[in-house]
Amino acid sequence: MMDKMIFGRYIPGDSVIHKLDPRVKLLASFYFIGIIFLCNNWQSYTLMFLFTLLALSLSKIKPSFIINGLKPLFWLILFTVVLQILFTRGGEVYFKWGILSVTELGLMNGIFIFCRFVLIILISTLLTLTTPPLSLSDAIEYLLRPLEVVKFPAHEVSLMLSIALRFVPTLMDETEKIMNAQRARGVDFGEGNIMDKMKSIVPLLIPLFVSSFNRAEDLATAMEARGYKGGEGRTKYRVLKWQSRDTLTALVFVVLTVILVYVRN
């Protein structure tokens, strides 16, 4: 049974966000992450949060689901925030213990870092929740294409990416099957000390490697039989279409940037 991972999964839908061109979504997400670093006061962060919430609501994805996406990263966020608070100095000192101190600046930085994290995670979760992996790989190929001039193998990279994506569910299934088979033979995955855990991985990894090699060989034969001879002279079945809503999105981002520059210190 696949469908185990929730973080980073695509949820089919027909919202405006779903329908956007993947190139727009990909570039916009990177751009958004970039301009988060322009934020330096609470007004600018509020703006970014409002924008993100708007985008999330447009996607029509259940909020509980998005929160689930955040959960696995909770400890990482907490750790970074605490470090930030304890080691940044400046402004009024609220608490001091050895080299550790909680200061006004530290607290501020901590809060900002927290906001940044949450924003970045929310926006990238939104990207993966609303864009099929395949469209993402199409977008990546399109964006890499100019690099072909400098002999960058854009076609091969994108084919590799799309085959890898296509085999993710297959290999997850396989992993589960082999785990079950080994559990039925008395292996406890994830039990015992580190040594035990490492040991229990071997009966899982070796069969997975063996089967992946077999699959790769079969796939190569099948591709050859179907006339695959590299990127040259090849046509593409998938095409990406730029639509007015994509232009609109681009404009929205220009406006967002302008406001952001205006409200920051």
Interface ranges with other proteins (CB under 8 A): 1-4, 6, 11, 62, 65, 68, 133-134, 137, 162-163, 165-166, 169-170, 173-174, 177-178, 180-188, 202-203, 206-207, 210-211, 214-215, 218-219, 221-229, 233-239
Q: Least separation, in Å, of the C-beta of 217 and other proteins?
A: 8
Distance of CA 26 to the CA centre of its chain: 10
**Based on CB atoms, which residue is closest to other proteins, 151 or 185?**
185
Q: Least separation, in Å, of the C-beta of 151 and other proteins?
A: 22
Closest by alpha carbon to 119, among 61, 62, 34?
Answer: 34
Q: Least separation, in Å, of the C-beta of 89 and other proteins?
A: 44
Q: Return phi, psi of residue 133, to 5°.
A: -50, -35
> Rounded CA gap, 8 and 128, in Å?
5
**Which token pair is 130?**
């609303």
**Based on CB atoms, which residue is closest to other proteins, 8 or 90?**
8
**Based on CB atoms, which residue is closest to other proteins, 83 or 176?**
176
**Based on CB atoms, which residue is closest to other proteins, 5 or 251?**
5
Q: Least separation, in Å, of the C-beta of 122 and other proteins?
A: 18
**Based on CB atoms, which residue is closest to other proteins, 78 or 205?**
205
**Based on CB atoms, which residue is closest to other proteins, 170 or 247?**
170
**Based on CB atoms, which residue is closest to other proteins, 92 or 191?**
191
Q: Least separation, in Å, of the C-beta of 26 and other proteins?
A: 17
Amino acid type, 189? F
Q: Least separation, in Å, of the C-beta of 187 and other proteins?
A: 6
Q: Least separation, in Å, of the C-beta of 67 and other proteins?
A: 12
Give the 3-state DSSP-derived string for the chain, with helices as H, strands as E and coil as C: CCCCCCCCCCCCCCCHHHHCCHHHHHHHHHHHHHHHCCCCCHHHHHHHHHHHHHHHHHHCCCHHHHHHHHHHHHHHHHHHHHHHHHHCCCCCEEEEECCEEEEHHHHHHHHHHHHHHHHHHHHHHHHHHHCCHHHHHHHHHHHHHHHHHHCCCHHHHHHHHHHHHHHHHHHHHHHHHHHHHHHHCCCCCCCCCHHHHHHHHHHHHHHHHHHHHHHHHHHHHHHHHCCCCCCCCCCCCCCCCCCHHHHHHHHHHHHHHHHHHHHCC
